[in-house]
Structure formats: structure tokens, C-alpha cells
Amino acid sequence: MILDSKIPEGPLAEKWDKHKFNVKLVNPANKRKYEVIVVGTGLAGASAAATLGELGYNVKAFCFQDSPRRAHSIAAQGGINAAKNYQNDGDSVFRLFYDTIKGGDYRAREANVYRLAQVSVDIIDQCVAQGVPFAREYGGLLANRSFGGAQVSRTFYARGQTGQQLLLGAYSALNRQIAYGKVKMYPRTEMLDLVMVDGKARGIVVRNLITGKIESHSAHAVVLATGGYGNVFFLSTNAMGSNATAAWRAHKKGALFANPCFTQIHPTCIPVSGEYQSKLTLMSESLRNDGRVWVPKTVELAQRLRRGEIAINDIAEEDRDYYLERKYPAFGNLVPRDVASRNAKLVCDEGRGVGGSGLAVYLDFADAIKRDGQPAIAAKYGNLFEMYAKITDENPYEKPMRIYPAVHYTMGGLWVDYNLMTNIPGLYATGECNFSDHGANRLGASALMQGLADGYFVIPYTIGDYLAQMPYAKVSTDHPAFKEAEEAVIAKNQQLLSIKGTRTVDEFHKALGLLMWDYCGMARNAEGLQFAKQEIRKLRDEFWRDVKVTGVNEELNITLEKANRVADFLELGELMVDDALHRNESCGGHFREEYQTPENEALRDDENFAYVAAWEFTGVGNEPVLHKEDLKFENVKLTQRSYK
């Protein structure tokens, strides 16, 4: 198989415009003859479904929540990047492109990232036109803040609820199309398989989560916008329902899965408080604009603090180690996420961590409150401070926050070409579900940008190019390919229900999560990864022998829903380990302990690993096949990332 990224010819800055001119168009009157399925209604899915509806296509949209507005994009806090240069601080499309490529540690495609930076400016215009209430200055113009990995202020925000406001904008556009009858919405409906006819994606099989009914939907193209797979780790900042099932089942039908080991561990999350913990809560990176990260200078001080022998205020200023400011004077507390996370782990491993468990560092606002006053800080971060207080029962205006890294985002995902099409004709992947734009590490405020770029401004063009070459004729859901897929889904559900074992789905999920966190998390090494691979296989075997799923298929069955998702995580986890094991270098969020600089920074091997690793499924328990897409850098020079 040859991976053709379909990157258009020509200079970087002209590729997208040229491509838009060259793609085939579907005549307005003919658009209504095509049906498109969009799975997922987060930023990536809702924006695509609404825009395709506006263009005249007939769209069916699906989500597993009870309303499209509840997709996990709603939880994004900090902001969205755009190269508007409203602050006149030297920003430009090229700078946003450059920061994103560098932040991703040179493992993303230049052409895709450049296009992302280009359309970023249109996103802000679109959202404002929809009524998204972004933060504003007193003069009435839009305000910006800074985010990690950038030295300009280009992040647009709506207090600490940017994702909510952007998604509600997309949801409103979606609602308008639902009202017009151009989009038919299927909430509480979970995709469980992809259906292919003559080698093309032609539909999906879903389960109605209220009645359990298994149904098929046919279309001319299928777009997966189903989010990330961070919940492989059980504990993450993702929503409880976030899952990999749609993408994974497409992978099992032939779609390649790219860079699965590139996961982002976010540095500022509320630490784990106990065994019962069901998820982790992010404290937005924007807090690092004003909060200073520190731990005690010595192990001894940290120990006494943990034992409660001294209080935080007993630690003199000179005994506090603001380690990010010390090691990275140029970026300070605003270094990229992978760097911040790794350093938090480092100081905790040294024994200098705080909190009861020693697995936390301080994020301190005392100086900012002294400088700007409490009301100013409350205006910027009020809801985050409240959330912190609710969860921990501590007041962050008086006491520094305790934070620790947690799984947050997955850069890996389904392999797509420049058109966002997977290697299966007619199957597209957008948003966090694809692998495309963030390389080995995503910069803050860039996922919202990518989701909306894909949905509003990329797929509406590129899907037309494909549809223009498709016959209007529909495939009936009575076609044997649909029946076969339905039967397989039903059989799998029956199998899960018939095991009647002794261990719950959550027990397996937690065990898998722990393996992934310990061996395929912030730091990895070959020995640990090999061990994890064997353990995951054992766990998967036990799952299929001993899992306990009660009830029947034909009802609202929360255990069966979870069991399907965890069954897929147990397979995906192994692929992540395989990928991490094969990549004998460190880059971005992938830190192999064997490959580091004397200063403990990630040591890339551009000679041997400047490629996208796209994996082909060959059966559960079989070794996957690796396909490489070489990355060519013509506009940036590959350098050792430095934030000093």
C-alpha cells in the first residue's frame, strides 16, 4: 500500500487556494441527490454537518449523548488560536504555522498545518457572526490571551468556557439546518460499525441506546468526527463516554491508524484523590499566564510539608523552586505542555512533590493577585477557581492550587490525506479523531481551531471533489454488506452478554488504564513497553472470558455500552504500545527514556523517524503492518526544540 498524502503542488502559501480551484464541484441542484453521514457533533462534526446542510447536501448526524450540544468539545476551557494579529505583536499566518510545526516537534505535515493557520482567521469571523460572545476590551473589540508554546497573544476566549461557546455556535447552525430539514439528527445513537460496498465507505451500523435496536444507515460518504481516545487510560480529562469505537471499528475495516502513541499529558490537572476517582479535571493552561509553578527546593522541605509539619507559608521565597522559570527563562511557565508535564514528573520523582501523595506541584496566584488584585484574576478565571474549590474544598485565592499532569488529548488518530479522507474511499475523519495537524504534541488552543477549520472550511470543499465523481444511486440498507455488518454487531453484543463472568467492565478498564499510564504514559522505555504488551494481551483474554455484562441488548443498557467501548480500548491499547515501541526516538509527548539529551529533553532522530507511522490492522492478536508516510520539510528547518 502506498500512502498518498495528496498534497497539492506549488508554494506552501498557494497550495490551498490552488487546490480549492482545482477540486471538482457539485452543481447546487445536484447536491440534494447526495447523502452524507456525519458521526459526532462536537466542533468538528457539528460544523461539518451544518455547513454541508447549508450547501444543500442531505446530512444525517449522530451522537451518543442526548443532545448534539453535549459533545465533549463543550468542556474546552481556555481558548482558540487565530492568526488575526489584532494585538499587533508580530503574529502572522506563517508564525502560527511555524509555532504549530515546532510545537509538534516536527512530526506534522507542513501543508495541512499551513492551511490550518490560514483558515484560522475565518473561524473567528464566523463565530462572531453566529453570536459567540468572545471576551472583549473596553473599546468593544475582541480580547486575546497567551497560550503555551507561543510568544504572541493570539488566543481568543470566552472566559473559561470557550469550548462551550464555540460549540453552542456550531450547535445553533446545526439546529437551523435541522429545522430546514437538511440535517436529520440522531442523538443517543452509537455507531458500532462501518459498512463498505465495492471498497467504498457507504454507511454505518448503529445501536439506538434507548431501545437497543440495531439499525443501518446508507450514504454516499461517511465523516467520522468522533473525538479522541484518551479514555484508553481510564482516567483522563475526557468525558466518561468519550471512546474510540467508531474510529477503531473503521480501523478494523481497513482504515489506517496513525501515530497512536502520540498522546498529550496535560500539565495542569487536579491530582487524583482516591481509588474511586472516575475522571480527572483540567485546570486550563491559560492559568499559566498568571500562575507560577513551584515545588520546595529540597526533598526534606517537601517531606515535612507533606507530613503537615510545616505550612506552605513557612516555606521562604528562596526555598521555592520555580523550576520552569529557572530552566526555561524565555518561555517560563508558558513552555509547551509536554515540557511542563515532564518537568512536573521529574520533580515529583525526585521526591519534591506536594500534597498528600507527593504527586502534585503548586500553581501559585499570590503574585498575580498582589499585582492585579483579586477581582481582575476572578474576571479571567473565576469559573476555574470555583471548580477547583468545589472539587478540592480548598480556596485557590488563598492557597496555591495543587496540580499534576493527566491524559488530555490524542494527537494520533485515523490517517487522512490532505482532503481529510482516510485510505478508505469516501471515509473522512475530522477533528481529534484524525491525526493530521499536531504532530507529536498539540499546542494549547489549537484543537478547537482544528475542529472548526476541518468542519467549516475544509471538508465542505474536499468532500465535493469526491461526491462529484460518485453516481447518485443509493445503496439500499438491504444490501448484503449491511446485513453482514448488522449480524456481526448483534453477534458481538450477544457474546458480551453471554460471558456472565465475575469481573465488571470498569475493573478491566481501570486495569488497562493503569498499565497504559505506567508504561505508555509520560515516559516510556522498551522493557516496560514489552511488558505492557504481554499484560494487555492477558487482560484482553481475561475480559473475553470473565467480564460480567448484565441485562439484554433490547433495552437501555449502560453496561453493554461500556463493554463495547472497553473491548475496543483493549485492542487499541496494544497498538499504542506497538507504536511507542517501534519509535526509537523521543519527540513531543512521546518520551522514550533511552533517547534524551543531557538536559533531559526529548532527543529526536530525524534521520530515521521523520515519518508518520500508519498502522494496518491484520486481526486481533496479530502484529499490525506499518506503513510510512515520509514528512518533507521545505519551509522550516528542523532544529532541536528549545524554549530556553
Partner 1 sequence: MVTYPVKGISPDMSFLEMLDVLNEDLLLRGDEPIAFDHDCREGICGMCSLYINGRAHGPERGTTTCQLHMRHFKDGDTITIEPWRAAAFPVHRDLVVDRSAMDRIQQAGGYISVNTGGVPDANTIPIPKTIADKAFDAATCIQCGACVAACKNASAMLFLSAKVSQLAMLPQGKVEAKTRVENMLAQHDAEGFGACSNIGACAAECPVGISLDNIAMLNREYISAKATSENVA
Ligand X SMILES: Cc1cc2nc3c(=O)[nH]c(=O)nc-3n(C[C@H](O)[C@H](O)[C@H](O)COP(=O)(O)OP(=O)(O)OC[C@H]3O[C@@H](n4cnc5c(N)ncnc54)[C@H](O)[C@@H]3O)c2cc1C
Active site residues: 337
Q: Which region, judged by CB under 8 A, interacts with partner 1, from 253-261, 421-429, 551-559, 576-584?
A: 551-559
What is the C-alpha separation between 266 and 635, in angstroms, rounded? Answer: 29
Regarding 58 and contact with partner 1 (CB under 8 A), the answer is no
Question: CB 473 → ligand X: shortest distance, Å?
Answer: 26
Q: Which of 6, 18, 24, 136 binds partner 1 (CB under 8 A)?
A: 136
Question: CB 290 → ligand X: shortest distance, Å?
Answer: 16
Regarding 278 and contact with partner 1 (CB under 8 A), the answer is yes
List the single partner that 559 binds among ligand X, partner 1, none, CB under 5 to 8 Å by kind.
partner 1
Report which of 271, 269, 272 is spatially closest to residue 285, judged by C-alpha positions: 269
**Pairing assessment for the beta strands 361-364 and 401-410 based on DSSP bridges:** antiparallel
Report which of 308, 297, 405, 273 is spatially closest to residue 351, judged by C-alpha positions: 297
Question: CB 443 → ligand X: shortest distance, Å?
Answer: 9
Q: Which of 4, 6, 131, 487 binds partner 1 (CB under 8 A)?
A: 131
Regarding 545 and contact with partner 1 (CB under 8 A), the answer is no
Regarding 89 and contact with partner 1 (CB under 8 A), the answer is no
List the single partner that 116 binds among partner 1, ligand X, none, CB under 5 to 8 Å by kind.
none
Cell (9 digits) for 489: 454487531
Q: Which residues bind ligand X (CB under 6 A)?
A: 39-45, 62-65, 71-73, 75-80, 162-163, 190-191, 225-228, 237-238, 242-243, 245-246, 282, 284, 408-409, 431-433, 445-448, 451
Question: CB 356 → partner 1: shortest distance, Å?
Answer: 11
Size of the site for partner 1 (CB under 8 A): 79
Query: Is the Cβ–Cβ distance between 633 and 611 less than 8 Å?
Result: no
Query: Is the Cβ–Cβ distance between 599 and 328 less than 8 Å?
Result: no
List the single partner that 246 binds among ligand X, partner 1, none, CB under 5 to 8 Å by kind.
ligand X
Question: CB 124 → partner 1: shortest distance, Å?
Answer: 5
Please, is 616 exposed, middle or buried when counting C-beta atoms within 10 Å of its C-beta (0-12, 13-18, 19+)? middle
Q: Which of 93, 111, 124, 449 binds partner 1 (CB under 8 A)?
A: 124
Question: CB 64 → partner 1: shortest distance, Å?
Answer: 9
Q: Decide whether 448 or 613 has the Cβ nearer to ligand X.
A: 448
Q: Which of 25, 558, 620, 625 binds partner 1 (CB under 8 A)?
A: 558
What is the C-alpha separation between 41 and 38, in angstroms, rounded? Answer: 8
Starting at the earlier edge strand, list the strands of the sheet with 292-296. 263-269, 401-410, 361-364, 292-296, 320-321
Question: CB 357 → partner 1: shortest distance, Å?
Answer: 13
What is the C-alpha separation between 149 and 335, in angstroms, rounded? Answer: 5
Q: Helix or strand or coil: residue 609? A: helix
Q: How many residues does the chain have?
A: 644
What is the C-alpha separation between 311 and 622, in angstroms, rounded? Answer: 54
Alpha helices in 131-237 (DSSP H): 162-180
Regarding 87 and contact with partner 1 (CB under 8 A), the answer is no
Regarding 25 and contact with partner 1 (CB under 8 A), the answer is no
What is the C-alpha separation between 352 and 375, in angstroms, rounded? Answer: 32
Regarding 556 and contact with partner 1 (CB under 8 A), the answer is yes
Question: CB 279 → ligand X: shortest distance, Å?
Answer: 10
Q: Decide whether 205 or 577 has the Cβ nearer to ligand X.
A: 205
List the single partner that 227 binds among partner 1, ligand X, none, CB under 5 to 8 Å by kind.
ligand X
List the single partner that 431 binds among partner 1, ligand X, none, CB under 5 to 8 Å by kind.
ligand X
Q: Decide whether 301 or 411 has the Cβ nearer to ligand X.
A: 411
Phi, psi of 490 (to 5 degrees): -65, -40
* Residue 641, CA distances (Å) to 411, 591, 607 in order: 18, 14, 16
Element (H, E) at 205: strand 200-208
Window 577-636: residues binding partner 1 (CB under 8 A)? none
List the single partner that 114 binds among partner 1, ligand X, none, CB under 5 to 8 Å by kind.
none
List the single partner that 110 binds among ligand X, partner 1, none, CB under 5 to 8 Å by kind.
none
Q: Which region, judged by CB under 8 A, interacts with partner 1, from 435-443, 502-510, 588-596, 636-644?
A: 502-510
Query: Is the Cβ–Cβ distance between 440 and 590 less than 8 Å?
Result: yes
**Measured at the alpha carbon of residue 159, what is the angle toward residues 154 and 161, in degrees to the nearest 5?**
100
Regarding 86 and contact with partner 1 (CB under 8 A), the answer is yes
Cell (9 digits) for 274: 482516591
Residue type for 166, please?
L
Query: Is the Cβ–Cβ distance between 340 and 324 less than 8 Å?
Result: yes
Regarding 390 and contact with partner 1 (CB under 8 A), the answer is yes
Residue type for 344, please?
A
